[in-house]
Every structure is written in structure tokens, then in C-alpha cells.
Amino acid sequence: MDPRKIYSFIKRDFREFISYPLSALFTFLSVFLTLFIFFYLSRVISPGSSILKYSGDYFSFVIIGIAFSSAATSGLNTIVSALRNEEMKGTLEILLSGRVKTIDVLTGLMSFNIIFELFRMLFILVLSAVFFGLKIHYDKIYVSIIFLLLTFFTFLSLGIISGGIILITKKGNPLSFLVNQANLLFSGVYFPYEILPLWLKVFSFAFPTTYALKAIRLNLLQGYGFDRLYGELFILIGFAAVLLPASVVFFDQALKLCKKWGSLNTY
């Protein structure tokens, strides 16, 4: 992996981002408005037992879900949108022609957006703490970072698979949309997955975010450490260990197939 090549991607994407200052401004304003909405919504929601085991109020529960789920799933969304964007601009064939290693291309394409999502996550947490009284356990925050990284690599794997599908089909891949929407419903971003009926709750266990958000909330809001979260930790390690190498093999085969067909320059 060549850091200089990856840095060139980051610099390019950063320049494109700041070339639209109003868009950047509205992005951060939308974060503040979202916090306002959920803060006042939490004033009229009485937390039930499924929320109280994580936090004493709905606002703390939902803000942790919003902040970390967005960062964790950024690997899926970034790869798909970046590849499709390069495809539409006609630069994908040049990037994947072999002059630059595929791993450098994929890492470079997603680096800026991942940095942005991490900054956005921190921005949400800081605003929530300063203006809305969010209180978390900072002494064990490294536990949440580990869970965030494991979940990110799992969704990155799905993003790489989606990217391989885009290379072949030349169309927007519905996999990322379906995974994103199902993730919001089943993994407990806005409400505890425990309140779902049993026939829906079983789907929650197929999403890594379910285990990650449960562990992160218990860590940040209740002070739990790895000694009480080892079950969720092993499950997420299993997700990442299986999906990441499988996704790399799939993308490599899809790329070889497209090169054989000579279809990298089409969309």
C-alpha cells in the first residue's frame, strides 16, 4: 500500500468537497437540526425497560445509534458511490488498469469519506455533550473504538462485494440500499431491536450493527468493558474474518472478468 497515492486521492476529494462550501455548510447544519429534533422528541418519550438497560433517557440512546451507525456503515456506502462516480466520469478504467494497485485505488477512493464520517461522528458527540448534556464514560472509550472498527470492516466487505457487482452490471447496485434500510430497521439505530416482534427480531441477529450498537451503548453509557462484552466482540470478529477475505476475492474475480470483456470503460 502506497501512502503517497492514497494521499493524492484524499487531496483530490478534499478539494472537490470545499469547492462546494454551501453544501458543506448545510451538511453540518443538518447535524445540528437532527440533534434538536431528537432532543425535544426525547422530552415526550418515556423510556421503557428496553431503553433503560442502556440509558436513562431516549436522547442518549438514539444519538449513540445515529453517530456510530453512520460511521460504521460508511465502508459500504463509500465504495459503492465512489466506484459509480468514477465509472460515470470515465476514469475507472484508468484507475483499475494496473498502473496503480487495486488495494491503493479502493483505499484512496474511500479514505476522504471515511475521514469525513469519523469527523461527523465526533462532531455529533461533541455537540450533544456541550449543548444537550450527553454524558458518556470516556475512560473506556477504546472499547467502543474496537467495536466500531470491527463493524466498519464488516460493512466495508459488503461494500467491496457491491463494488464488484457494479463493475459487472454497470448499474447502481440495490444491495447497498437494501442493507442500509434493513440496518436502520433491525439493528436498533432509532429504537431497541428487543421491541420487535419475534418473527422480525430474528433478522436483527444477521446484522453486525446490532451487536456493535449494543456493546457501544453499554460501554459509553454504562461503563461496560470487554469482560462483559466478549460475546459481541467474538461475533463481530467472526463477521469480519469471514467477509473481508471473501469480498476481496470476489472483487478481484469481477475485475478480471471485466478486463477480459474489455468493459471497464463502459457504463
* pLDDT (tens digit per residue) in 44-97: 877 777 777 877 788 888 899 888 888 887 777 777 777 777 666 666 666 666
CA distance to 28, 31, 152, per residue, from 70 (Å) = 14, 12, 10
pLDDT at 52: 77
Integer Cα distance of 11 and 23 in angstroms: 18
Set of cell numbers at residue 74? 460508511
- The reported pLDDT for the residue numbered 146 is 92
Share of the chain above pLDDT 70, in %: 84
d(C-alpha 62, C-alpha 59), whole Å: 5
Per-residue pLDDT averaged across 177-181, rounded? 77
Question: What mean pLDDT, rounded, does the chain reach?
Answer: 81
Task: Please state the φ and ψ torsions of residue 74, each to the nearest 5 degrees.
Answer: -65, -30
pLDDT at residue 211, rounded to an integer:
92
pLDDT-derived band at 111 (thresholds 50, 70, 90) equals confident
Q: Is the pLDDT of residue 172 over 60?
A: no
Is 173 a residue whose pLDDT tops 70? no
End-to-end CA distance of the chain, in Å?
A: 28
Instruction: Please say if the pLDDT value at position 185 is more than 80.
Output: yes
Quote the pLDDT of residue 25. Answer: 78
Among 23-32, 123-132, 182-191, 214-223, name the one with the lowest average pLDDT. Answer: 23-32
Mean pLDDT calculated for residue range 152-169: 81
Q: What is the CA radius of gyration of the chain?
A: 20
192-201: average pLDDT: 86
The C-alpha cell of 253 is what?
474475480
Take residue 231 and report the three cell numbers written for it: 460475546
- Residue 92's pLDDT is 63
Indicate the pLDDT class of residue 175, thresholds 50, 70 and 90.
low
Whether 192 has a pLDDT exceeding 90, the answer reads no
- Asked if residues 243 and 208 have their Cβ atoms less than 8 Å apart, the reply is no
Does the pLDDT value for residue 235 go beyond 90?
A: yes
The Cα–Cα gap between 55 and 140 comes to 16
